[in-house]
Amino acid sequence: MLELNFLRTNTERVKEGLKVRNYDEEGLKAVDRAVSLDDSRKDVQTRLDNLLAERNALSKEIGALFKSGKREEAEQKRSRVNEVKEEAAKLEEALREVKIQLAEALYSIPNVPHPSVPAGNTDEDNEVYRDWAGELPVLPEGTQPHWELAKTYNIFDLELGTKITGSGFPLYRGQGARLQRALISFFLDEAVKAGYEEIIPPLLVNEDSARATGQLPDKEGQMYFVEKDNLYLIPTAEVPVTNIYRDEIIDPAQLPVKLTGYTPCFRREAGSYGAHVRGLNRVHQFDKVEIVRYEHPDKSYEALEEMLAHVAGLLDKLELPYRILRLCGGDLGFTAALTFDFEVYSAAQQRWLEVSSVSNFETYQSNRLKLRFKDGKETRLLHTLNGSALALARILAALLENNQTPEGIVIPKVLQSYTGFDRITAQ
């Protein structure tokens, strides 16, 4: 969430940022409400502090009066102490309530977009930041989309997944399972080579962790909730990995902190229907390798460029055509200041598929996380960044479709040492 001091001193900038996100005048009132609630909080806190100071002073006076034999005067002051206690109890309750309201108001305000974020309402307004320079692959007539290839080569089964669990839970088998495992290992190995520490995090998180990274209260509808234990299945490794250093002060000598983790990811994706979500294009469970960074505020956008280069390098090695989009205000995630999406081209479907989002959250997450560093005598919030490197379902779909031949599906050279075979053949 935004820092209160930033909100106070940059009120108009925040409002202009919300306009880029297409907030109307009613939505902009959340900023004024937060500032007003903070004024109320300060007022109640001051009155409470004054009462507590008065109580402490009276307590000392009462002790002195009893010692000097002035019992009647001491009892009068004791009566005032009781009044102060009652007034203080009411103010403490008022303070608790205004703090809750202030937190809710702050949670309702998204991050301020970076100045480079273009205006726009939907994903159709996203800006092509880096286009594919070569020719897009054109497949001969008779080639198949990946959901048909799955049946031809017996590499994954959506119907069995539906039988075992429900729609949107694919089952991988044979060479398909080995290709999936090869991609995970390749992505992790490349991240480790780039200096990221590998993490195997829990797949469920508590409410504090989900709130700290911004999944709550913004994305409850997308998350699977285990009600009995009050735990959430993770929608991405970003959530547990980013929470590793929650409530900590990091030594500047440790920066940058670079972490990577592979996890299955679980997303309800409610209301997703149609041909554009067939097969692996949109599923409720998918594998993903995530990269996460904690950075000095002065270096976070340099780090963002490094992360873009890392993801681009993976796609180059997989020999997949891709482009990079800069998300517009209307498509920008609630917690992000700037996001770039990577899309790979599916030759069989003849369209682009999103496979990665790389974002800088600046201090929005770290303020919730209380993730700080020492800058001389000052304690400051770090910047957090993360990105998919990569999400496997659509990567697998594009690899299968783009590399199909009459002799089978060719495996990219970079993966052959991981799979142990150079093509997928009918079983």
Same domain, 101 and 134: no
In the 8-state DSSP scheme, what is residue 90? H
Spell out where 193-271 has E strands: 197-199, 204-206, 225-226, 231-233, 249-250, 257-266
Same domain, 75 and 140: no
Same domain, 145 and 200: yes
Does residue 117 lie in a domain region?
A: no
Same domain, 414 and 382: yes
Please indicate if the annotation marks 59 as binding a ligand: no
pLDDT given at position 353 = 96
Q: Which amino acid, one-letter code, is at 22?
A: N
Q: Which of the four pLDDT bands, split at 50, 70 and 90, describes residue 43? A: very high
Does residue 118 lie in a domain region?
A: no
Residue 68 has pLDDT above 90, yes or no: no
pLDDT given at position 83 = 86
Please indicate if the annotation marks 284 as binding a ligand: yes
Question: Please, what's the b/e burial string for 20-58 (b: 16 or more CB within 10 A of its CB; e: otherwise)?
Answer: bbebeeebbebbebbbebbebbeebeeebeebeebbeeb
Same domain, 252 and 154: yes
Same domain, 102 and 130: no
pTM of this structure: 0.93
Please indicate if the annotation marks 236 as binding a ligand: yes
Residue 275 has pLDDT above 60, yes or no: no
Please indicate if the annotation marks 114 as binding a ligand: no
Residue 209 has pLDDT above 70, yes or no: yes
Does residue 242 lie in a domain region?
A: yes
Helix, strand, coil tally for the chain in percent (to 5)? 45, 20, 30
Does residue 267 lie in a domain region?
A: yes
Same domain, 131 and 94: no
Please indicate if the annotation marks 292 as binding a ligand: no
Does residue 114 lie in a domain region?
A: no
Q: Are 398 and 345 in contact (CB under 8 A)?
A: yes
Q: What percent of the chain has pLDDT over 90?
A: 86
pLDDT given at position 276 = 64
End of a domain among 51, 73, 107?
107
Please indicate if the annotation marks 268 as binding a ligand: yes
Please indicate if the annotation marks 267 as binding a ligand: yes
Among candidate residues 286, 395, 362, 316, the one with its CA nearest the CA of residue 111 = 362
Residue 134 has pLDDT above 60, yes or no: yes
End of a domain among 107, 139, 161?
107
Mean pLDDT calculated for residue range 113-133: 96
Residue 80 has pLDDT above 90, yes or no: no
Same domain, 132 and 77: no
pLDDT given at position 273 = 52
CATH code, 191: 3.30.930.10
Same domain, 49 and 191: no
Q: Please, is 323 exposed, middle or buried when counting C-beta atoms within 10 Å of its C-beta (0-12, 13-18, 19+)?
A: middle
Q: Which amino acid, one-letter code, is at 342?
A: F
The answer to which of 137-141, 267-271, 406-410 has the lowest mean pLDDT is: 267-271
Q: Which of the four pLDDT bands, split at 50, 70 and 90, describes residue 136? A: very high
Specify the pairing of strand 378-381 against strand 338-346. Answer: unpaired
Does residue 115 lie in a domain region?
A: no
Please indicate if the annotation marks 354 as binding a ligand: yes
59: which 2 tokens? 């307590």
pLDDT given at position 35 = 96
CATH code, 51: 1.10.287.40
Does residue 260 lie in a domain region?
A: yes
Query: What is the tens place of the pLDDT at every residue in 330-342?
Result: 999 999 999 999 9
Contacts for 219 with CB less than 8 Å, ≥ 6 apart: 235, 334
Side by side, the strands of the sheet bearing 372-375 are: 249-250, 372-375, 378-381
Contacts for 88 with CB less than 8 Å, ≥ 6 apart: 48, 51, 52, 55
Q: Are 157 and 174 in contact (CB under 8 A)?
A: no
Please indicate if the annotation marks 340 as binding a ligand: no
Element (H, E) at 124: none
pLDDT given at position 305 = 98
pLDDT given at position 61 = 84
Name beta bridge partners: 378: 375
| Structural domains in the chain (count) | 2
Same domain, 181 and 289: yes
pLDDT given at position 208 = 95
In the 8-state DSSP scheme, what is residue 222? G
Please indicate if the annotation marks 386 as binding a ligand: yes
Q: Which amino acid, one-letter code, is at 330?
A: G
Same domain, 97 and 9: yes
Residue 272 has pLDDT above 60, yes or no: no
State the angle between helix axes of 300-317 and 174-193 in degrees (0 to 180), rounded to the nearest 10.
Answer: 140
238: which 2 tokens? 């970003």
Same domain, 223 and 294: yes
Residue 234 has pLDDT above 70, yes or no: yes
Q: What is the mean pLDDT of the chain?
A: 94
- What's the CA gap between 87 and 92, in Å, rounded? 9
Q: Which of the four pLDDT bands, split at 50, 70 and 90, describes residue 54? A: confident
pLDDT given at position 290 = 98
CA-to-CA dists, residue 188 to 68, 238, 300, 341, angstroms: 77, 15, 22, 20
State the angle between helix axes of 174-193 and 146-153 in degrees (0 to 180), rounded to the nearest 10.
Answer: 120
Among candidate residues 335, 379, 82, 355, the one with its CA nearest the CA of residue 210 = 335
Give the range of the structural domain holding residue 384, as residue numbers without chain letter. Answer: 123-424
Please indicate if the annotation marks 356 as binding a ligand: yes
Residue 219 has pLDDT above 80, yes or no: no
73: which 2 tokens? 């005067």
- What's the CA gap between 375 and 381, in Å, rounded? 10
pLDDT given at position 426 = 87
Residue 274 has pLDDT above 70, yes or no: no
End of a domain among 107, 141, 173?
107
Q: Which of the four pLDDT bands, split at 50, 70 and 90, describes residue 55? A: confident
pLDDT given at position 49 = 94
Q: What percent of the chain has pLDDT over 70?
A: 98
Residue 270 has pLDDT above 70, yes or no: no
CA-to-CA dists, residue 158 to 148, 167, 299, 349, 392, angstroms: 11, 8, 44, 18, 16
Residue 377 has pLDDT above 60, yes or no: yes
Q: How long is the chain?
A: 427
Mean pLDDT calculated for residue range 152-178: 96
Please indicate if the annotation marks 290 as binding a ligand: yes
